[in-house]
Amino acid sequence: MLDQYRFALVDLETTGGQPREDQIMEVAIRLEDSRGHTLGQWQSLVDPQCSIPFFIQNLTGISAATVRGQPRFAEVVDTVWGYLEGAILVAHNAKFDAGFLRHHLRCLGYEYEPKVLCTLKLARTLYPDWPKHGLEAICNRIGFYSEVHHRAMADVDAMKAFLDYARGDKGEAVFNFELGLQLGLPVLPPSINQGDIDAIPCQPGVYRLLGEAGELLYLGGAASLQTQVLSHFTNCSGDSKATKLARRVCGVQWHVLAGELSVGFYLSASLRFEKPQMQRRAKAIGKPCCVRFVLNDNGVTQLRFRSGLPASVVHSGECVAIFRDRKQAKMRVVELAEESALCLRLLGILAEGESCGCADCTLVSDVLNENLGVVAQQEVNQKLAEALASYLYTPWPFDEPVFIYEQNASGFGEWHLINAWRYYGSFVWDADTKLMRERIVTGEDTTASINLEGAKRRCEQAKDFQYEHYRLIKAFINDLPCQTVSDFFVV
């Protein structure tokens, strides 16, 4: 993936460390292709048109006499730009060189915002056990000796020597992978080739990213397996979690499913008992929280929080809002109330003596309720209803269990047995036996089969209401074919 790029190895000698105050007094550039072959090189002293500090003269050996009669930077800028344009800038402690080039090129009408490869960062990444990573220390380590230091072309030669050494020592795959990570380019881990990626279908399913010893690093799912797996290697930069994960991946396993609903059910079950090393653990399943709407004596709607989803509430058809847990419910209700300019105290969700800080809270509770006229009461109730509208619990729209059907582009289909927003398993239809064969979470077929009575008995089993399943099923139930179990098994 790096073949299309050219690399400009650059070193500058300057009169100081501040791009806006100091000047360039020597430039060296070597242009290379992605495999390290030299395409051209150029160097020149530059008259900085200012005095050169003594410590800079001692460090570089460049004095006023050295640069006398040399071209000004403005006179060589076209040549410099010819080497730099479109190439990746490579430098040791590249922030320094990039800053000087960016400023001084801009002053002459060139906008310079290149991709930057820092050989100092690269050395620290590839050889973290080396005690020092300065250019001279690296040269001593790899056996590259030069009589000249702190001169532009000599330092460019040293950078090239290190890059050639690292490419040969670590191998092309590892070397290019680390280059790609630093540059933010899409690159594959060394143990995975393009053929491995091409073999992953663009179908819905789940995948596992594995480490060197086969350990599970990450478990994910997507509507397109190939696209999602590739995304792990195209959004890496710096020392992010994505970069750390990409460095450890040595293999990919994947399993095709019928659709996104299948993927959701699979992941919700798998992440409860599998422990990916580089993935946030799934939260333990707790009780959801329903928020009830209760009219007080003054006709104002107040809120009452209750853990779980009581059967009495479901059967009565009472209007309630539903949240993942009590913590999310309180946090979101407070946010929505503030957005809708509703008094938390008036809504009855503050403890005795607490205040939300609004103007109404300055009134005593009884006075606040009594001072609300009929119109104001209706306005408060209407605002509250609108604020929580998207969180209202939707009653189960069927009189019995249903099968929801999904099918992927290859024709593979699964039937999900659902009742009262509870998930009871996924099945494939066996046309020969007229039975449903269950598919378990590992993706392997089981020998268990069910008929009409078996499906009904399964749905009679007590099962807790799971908020994540409710949200998942609700998101797809209107877009996928549904059949009641009674209709499904009619011959």
Q: Write the pLDDT tens digit of every residue in 106-162.
A: 999 999 999 999 999 999 999 999 999 999 999 999 999 887 778 999 999 999 999
Question: Domain ranges in the chain?
Answer: 7-182, 194-273, 289-391, 402-488
Q: Write the pLDDT tens digit of every residue in 55-69.
A: 999 999 999 999 999
Q: What are phi and psi of 42, to 5 degrees?
A: -160, 145
Q: What is the CATH number of domain 7-182?
A: 3.30.420.10
Q: Write the pLDDT tens digit of every residue in 82-93.
A: 999 999 999 999
Amino acid at 50: C
Please give the C-alpha separations between residue 263 and each of 88, 139, 223, in angstroms, as whole numbers: 41, 52, 8
pLDDT of 171: 93
Three-class secondary structure of residue 237 per DSSP: coil
Q: HSE (CB half, 13 Å, CA atoms) of 383?
A: 20
Q: How confident is the model at residue 198 (pLDDT cuts 50, 70, 90)?
A: very high
Q: How far apart are CA 370 and CA 351, in angstroms?
A: 20
pLDDT above 70 as % of the chain: 91
Is the C-alpha dihedral spanning 441, 446, 451, 455 positive or negative?
A: negative
Neighbours of 140 (CB within 10 A): 12
CB 43 within 8 A of CB 25: no
Q: How confident is the model at residue 442 (pLDDT cuts 50, 70, 90)?
A: very low
Global pTM exceeds 0.85: no
**C-alpha closest to that of 424 among 386, 454, 388, 390:** 454
Q: How confident is the model at residue 444 (pLDDT cuts 50, 70, 90)?
A: very low
Is the C-alpha dihedral spanning 7, 8, 9, 14 positive or negative?
A: negative
pLDDT of 363: 54
Token representation of residue 325: 């847990």
> Which CATH fold would you assign to the domain 194-273?
GIY-YIG endonuclease (3.40.1440)
pLDDT of 354: 73
